Amino acid sequence: MHAGAPPGDGYSDTMASDEPAQDSAAAEFRRYIAVLRRRRMVVFVTAASVVATAILLSFSQTPEYQASVNLLLTATPSEHVVTSPGVADAQRDLVNEVAIIASDVVREAVSKDIGDKIASDAISATLGPEGSDVIRLTATTMSPTSAARLANHYAKAYITWRRAQRANDLLATGEQIQTKLDAQHAALEQASAPLADLDRRIEAAESDAERSALADQRTSVAEQLDNRLRVLQNQLDSSQQQFDELQLTAKLAQSGGIQLLSTARAPAMPASPRPKRDALVALAIGLLLGLAAAFVVEFLDDSIKDKADLESVTGGLPVLALIPKVGRRHRDRALFPPTLPPSNVSEAYRSLRMSLDFIAHERKLRTVQFTSASAGEGKTTTVANLGVSLAQARDRVILVGCDLRRPRLHEYFGAHNRVGLTTALVGNESAAELLQTVSSDERLLLIPSGPVPLNPSELLGTRRAEQVLEAVASRADIVLVDTTPVLPVTDALVVSRLVDATVLVVAANRTSKRQLRRAVELLHQADAPLVGTVLAEVTGEENGYKSVYWHDDKPNSGRRKRKAAARTEARSAASLTSG
């Protein structure tokens, strides 16, 4: 260790502390991606619905056209007269002018001027670019030419009306200044009255001595009134200057205040609706809503989605195999022949077969029960295909249809169900008499369920049922027992006491966590030898399987190769189910 380096502290410790956080973030990101893949149809349908609605609304709306003119706002002449330049708030003036343009008073005045009533939503005004004194006036109508005509007429009529208003403003301002001038003249004359009186007395004096004395007196009074007279004279001069400026600007008022910078032209395209623009906006909104809907559906969905969910709910029970969901073209297929290596489904059943082989090394495994939480989760399909896979491995396999309520196992092999397990349970037939050969080499045998009895649970709980299963087990390397689901009836719980192992089949995206949790709880309460689970109908996004059934080493091998593979599959299926 280097001198001065504290033990356990440094870059390696920092990296070690960062790795769990990075792994957690990556796992969370992958989980979000998995949710989006799983719920992609929710996103697609939501986005498509929003886009379709927007397009329909666009095409159902009557087209509206907009034409605009630009107006330049200049300072009111009266403001220059009564205030100093720069005092008025230009931004406030612009905002006020925008409100005035679209006001009812102005619209009614312009309507009278152009001789046509203007709708309240036909005219709008907005501020121009920031920092400018431009106002944009927009007219909206059902016709492009009428929109341009209305915008131009409204702008011109508004300018005329506004200038008249400002002329009146100038007139009122002039009257105020004139009144102010009159008052200032009167005040100045009143303040100058003593000097004027002395001037008259000086002119009327008869002697030089009297005239000199009055002149001295006038000088003294003038000195006393000098400051007041100067202030009054300055005020009068200022008011007179304002009045002169007002008279000058009155001549310019007819062309000042508001100026028309540009005229409106008939638009080539309607302002609304705009199907392409609306579709793009709707697509963005639809995708956002779709993403939100996907996560809401995912949150509300209580089904088992992947291997992690399955292990979490079952308390860590081993998952013996993941059976992929077959493509649409192969959903009507009962058996998936193991002789064709390209079959992902067949490989999955081989994996299940190997898992059972590993269990068999640790415990007795002659009779294996397959059940599920509820109906339709794939237990019978799993039993049939696992039996085919085991027989292919040169094991002598007997399949027993122990679902005495809805028997289906015999249908997978085209066998009859006239006699079967119920026949042996209520009669004296031996197991050998009930066996049906369903493969050419007699390694795969079947005992169907037989006629449906009135009391399946009581029948399966008898000593006779135990004896029949023992007899069947003595004639095979392994016996696969197809039983009813756990939750609807108790048949599977009764049979679990007669077998060496129980496997619970779960359908991905179908079996709910609540159902699975309850099924496992009931099996544990019945002391069932539960050795593991099988996750069926797994999609490629969740566990690495492709959603199609067949694939070639070369994906683009052509139609001829796919047809050849289909013929080979058909021959193999016929050989397995013959007899």
**Predicted local confidence at residue 486, as pLDDT:** 95
**Predicted local confidence at residue 400, as pLDDT:** 94
**Predicted local confidence at residue 482, as pLDDT:** 95
SS percent in the chain: helix, strand, coil, step 5: 55, 15, 30
CA atoms within 13 A on the CB side of 129: 1
Same fold, 65-262 and 314-577: no
What single letter denotes the amino acid at residue 301?
A: D
| Distance (Å, whole) CA 309 – CA 315 | 10
Structure tokens at 246: 């007002």
**Predicted local confidence at residue 76, as pLDDT:** 53
Structure tokens at 42: 């929710």
The residues facing 437 across adjacent strands are: 445
Structure tokens at 542: 């969740």
**Predicted local confidence at residue 252, as pLDDT:** 61
pLDDT tens by residue, the chain, 579 residues: 444 445 555 545 555 555 666 777 887 888 788 888 878 899 999 999 999 998 898 888 888 888 999 888 876 544 444 444 444 466 787 888 888 888 888 888 778 877 778 887 888 888 888 778 888 889 988 888 888 988 888 888 888 887 777 777 777 787 888 888 888 888 878 878 887 887 788 887 778 787 788 788 878 877 887 788 788 888 878 888 877 777 766 666 555 667 888 888 988 888 888 888 888 999 999 999 999 999 898 888 888 888 988 999 998 899 999 998 875 544 444 565 544 444 678 888 999 999 999 999 988 899 999 999 999 899 999 999 999 989 888 789 999 999 999 999 998 888 888 888 998 888 877 777 888 888 777 889 999 999 988 889 999 999 999 999 999 999 999 999 999 999 999 999 999 999 999 999 999 988 999 999 999 999 999 999 999 999 998 876 555 444 443 343 344 444 554 454 445 444 444 444 443
Query: CATH for 314-577?
Result: 3.40.50.300
**Predicted local confidence at residue 280, as pLDDT:** 92
- Sequence-distant (6+) residues with CB within 8 A of 258 are 71, 72, 73, 74, 97, 158, 159, 162, 163
Query: CATH for 65-262?
Result: 3.30.1890
Provide the 10 A C-beta neighbour count for residue 130. Answer: 6
| Cα 522 to Cα 59, 293, 388, 486, 528, distances in angstroms | 59, 35, 30, 8, 9
Residue carrying the six token digits 């009167």: 186
Residue carrying the six token digits 């008073």: 105
- The DSSP secondary structure of 51-100, one letter per residue, reads HHHHHHHHHHSPPBEEEEEEEEE---HHHHHHS-TT-S-HHHHHHHHHHH
Burial of residue 363 (CB within 10 Å: 0-12, 13-18, 19+) is exposed
- Residue extents of the structural domains in the chain: 22-61+273-300, 65-262, 314-577
| Cα 489 to Cα 374, 405, 425, 492, distances in angstroms | 10, 10, 19, 8
Nearest Cα neighbor of 492 from 482, 480, 506 is 482
225-256 b/e with 16+ CB inside 10 Å = b? eeeeeeebeebbeebeebbeebeebbeebeeb
CA atoms within 13 A on the CB side of 397: 22
**Predicted local confidence at residue 116, as pLDDT:** 77
**Predicted local confidence at residue 256, as pLDDT:** 60
CA angle at 301 for the pair 298 and 302, rounded to the nearest 5°: 130
What is the reported pTM? 0.58
**Predicted local confidence at residue 343, as pLDDT:** 64
The residues facing 69 across adjacent strands are: 137
CA 481 to chain centre: 47
Could you tell me if 394 and 443 are in contact, meaning their C-beta atoms sit under 8 angstroms apart?
A: yes
Could you tell me if 439 and 460 are in contact, meaning their C-beta atoms sit under 8 angstroms apart?
A: no
